[in-house]
Amino acid sequence: MVLAELGGTITNALKRMSNATIIDEKVINECLNGITRALLQSDVRLELVKNMQDNIKKILKNEELAAGHNKRKIIQQAVYSELCKIVDSGKPPVTPKKGKTSVIMFVGLQGSGKTTTCTKYAYYHQKKGWKPALVCADTFRAGAFDQLKQNATKAKIPFYGSYMESDPVKIAGEGVERFKKENCDLIIVDTSGRHKQEASLFEEMRQVSEITKPDLVIFVMDSSIGQAAYDQALAFKKSVSVGAVIITKMDGHAKGGGALSAVAATKSPVIFIGTGEHMDEFEVFDAKPFVSRLLGMGDLSGFMDKIHEVVPMEQQPELLQKLSEGTFTLRIMYEQFQNIQKMGPIGQVLGMLPGLNSDMMPKGQDKESQAKIKRYMTMMDSMTNEELDSTNLKLMNESRIMRIARGSGRAVREVMDMLEEYKRLAKVWSKMKGKIPKKGGMGPVSRNSMANALPPEMLRQIGGPAGLQNLMKQLGSGGAPKDLMGMLGGMK
């Protein structure tokens, strides 16, 4: 994935700087040049990149005056906040409310990925308990209704369209009416992306908008157009009241960074990005967590989202009991891998975990990471219960390791690798001892201890102790924060 490459290059530039014994001007310039090159290759406008470079230099100059500051940290922080500025529109999007009917109209040029994105959007919300429905008001492209119908059927989402009716405005109106009666809370209207003349396309959009009265108009755009995204987004904004943007095909295009930054410059909030053809290759876009992830710092909120989707709550108490006692066994590692596998494209999930994406899970190597986890699990399948439930690695003597290698058909070296990974994770877990609530809700004391237990970088991402408290409030008093500790702690 191209964005992963961008992130990788920036992270490497920062790493090289961190490895230098003395951070002088030359080292800093090299680092900044590396970051600049990476951004320009991803088609981010020269002016923005130059601005960023100047700002970072300014920050460094000011900070130099304050003695005792850590230059590495200052540079990393400055890169982080400057990148956030580049991709943040600074305008919060309108968000539909669950349980209250919202009509969402999708617009965009042909081939931008509009129809696919409508279904992804519906599917994303359906998984969160919404009642979405799809209306196909694209009568221009013959196959559009079939495509929507196929996607909707696959995702078990109700849909409306017609092979006979040629008036998109009529279809849109009827579809919205029908689904309002059926109490759907998210009615998604897919519109046409082409016309014989551009003016007629905009006129059609205006009419569809008039009859459906959308609460939100989402403009879908293909990332491959890079900086040209600016003009395209503005043109659409002039014709219909675009409230948010989704950028598609961020998985494959070198110009992804350009599109993202250009759209942000139009003050249109980007709300999701499409990262593949499949239904779940769709990610919430939020500037700060996005940049965190790009820089390998993790994306806690996105990860929480995923956790909610897959980890069965009832599995947590026993696990938490063990963890609070500081017991991290190979079996627990196995169960965590199982959970991770359920979460969808593995890179998407692992990139959200602070610290986990560099060595064990290289960015952009989903398949390899998935294969690695599978390999580890196969080896663990060849272990005895005693081995899986022990925390004592001394138990794993030569003959046991050879037996596991033989049993799983893997090399001895690979078993050693897996045990090394276990050792690394167990070390992180050991720091969590006594800081994980065993049962029930979280009182103020455990909240504090949770704040203490989180790595400072992660805590900062959430917005400090106050942000943590907010996050926990949002999640309710249920087990979510425990999941968080359960998963994040082990995977740091």
Does the footprint of ligand GTP cover residue 369 (CB under 6 A)?
no
Contacting residue, 144, 240, 383, 418, with ligand GTP by CB under 6 A = 144
**For residue 134, with 0-12 CB atoms within 10 Å meaning exposed, 13-18 middle and 19 or more buried, which class applies?**
buried
Half-sphere exposure of 57 (CA within 13 A, CB side): 15
Q: Which stretch binds ligand GTP (CB under 6 A): 36-44, 114-122, 166-174, 238-246?
A: 114-122
Measured distance between the N- and C-terminal CA atoms of the chain, rounded to whole angstroms: 23
Give the per-residue contact string, 181-210, with ligand GTP (x = CB under 6 A; - = no): ------------x-----------------
Site membership for ligand GTP, residue 345 (CB under 6 A):
no
Tokens of 34: 């590396």
- Per CB under 6 A, the list member of 42, 139, 212, 275 interacting with ligand GTP is 275
Torsions phi, psi of 222, nearest 5?
A: -80, 130
DSSP-assigned letter for residue 94: P
In the complex with ligand GTP, the residue whose CB is nearer, 252 or 407, is: 252
Distance CA 75, CA 33 (A): 13
Give me the amino acid identity at 344.
G
Query: Residue 486 interacts with ligand GTP (CB under 6 A)?
Result: no
Binding ligand GTP (rule: CB under 6 A), the pick from 11, 36, 42, 115 is: 115
Q: Which is nearer to ligand GTP, 110 or 449 (CB)?
A: 110
**Interface with ligand GTP includes 57 (CB under 6 A)?**
no
Using CB under 6 A as the binding rule, whether residue 344 contacts ligand GTP is answered as no
| Whether the Cβ atoms of residue 137 and residue 190 lie closer than 8 Å to each other | yes
**Cα–Cα distance between 389 and 155 in angstroms, integer?**
39
The conformational region for residue 238 under phi > 0 = left, psi -120 to 50 = alpha, else beta, is alpha
Q: Is 103 near ligand GTP (CB under 6 A)?
A: no
Does 114 participate in binding ligand GTP (rule CB under 6 A)? Answer: yes
Q: Is 138 in the site for ligand GTP (CB under 6 A)?
A: yes
Q: Of 167 and 177, which has the nearer Cβ to ligand GTP?
A: 167
Cβ pair 484, 304 in contact under 8 A: yes
* SS3 of the chain: helix, strand, coil, percent, to 5: 60, 10, 30
Identity of residue 167: D
Interface size with ligand GTP, residues (CB under 6 A): 21
Asked if residue 252 binds ligand GTP (CB under 6 A), the reply is yes
Minimum distance, C-beta of residue 256 to ligand GTP, in the bound complex (Å): 10
Minimum CB separation from ligand GTP for residue 148, in Å? Answer: 8
The Cβ of residue 36 has, within 10 Å, a number of other Cβ atoms equal to 19
Shortest reach from residue 190's CB to ligand GTP, in Å = 7
Integer CA distances (angstroms), 413 to 278, 331, 359, 397, 398, in order: 36, 20, 17, 14, 11
146 binds ligand GTP (CB under 6 A): no
Burial class (CB in 10 A: 0-12, 13-18, 19+), 168: buried
Q: Is 43 in the site for ligand GTP (CB under 6 A)?
A: no
Q: Which of 237, 210, 34 is nearest to 137 (CA)?
A: 210
CB 307 within 8 A of CB 484: yes
Give the alpha-carbon dihedral of 330, 333, 338, 342, to 10 degrees.
180
141 contacts ligand GTP (rule: CB under 6 A) = yes
DSSP letter, residue 243: -
Interacting stretch for ligand GTP, rule CB under 6 A, among 273-281, 293-301, 306-314, 345-353?
273-281
113 binds ligand GTP (CB under 6 A): yes
Q: Is 251 in the site for ligand GTP (CB under 6 A)?
A: yes
With binding defined as CB under 6 A, does residue 178 bind ligand GTP? no
Please select the residue that binds ligand GTP; options are 12, 77, 101, 110, rule is CB under 6 A: 110
CB of 163 to ligand GTP, least distance (A): 16
Nearer to ligand GTP, 148 or 297 (CB): 148
Give least dist CB 492 to ligand GTP, A: 30
* Per-residue contact flags (x/-) with ligand GTP for residues 219 to 248, judged by CB under 6 A: -----------------------------x
The burial of 370, by beta-carbon neighbours within 10 Å (0-12 exposed, 13-18 middle, 19 or more buried), is given as middle
| Interacting residue ranges for ligand GTP, rule: CB under 6 A | 108, 110-116, 138, 141, 144, 147, 193, 248-249, 251-252, 274-277
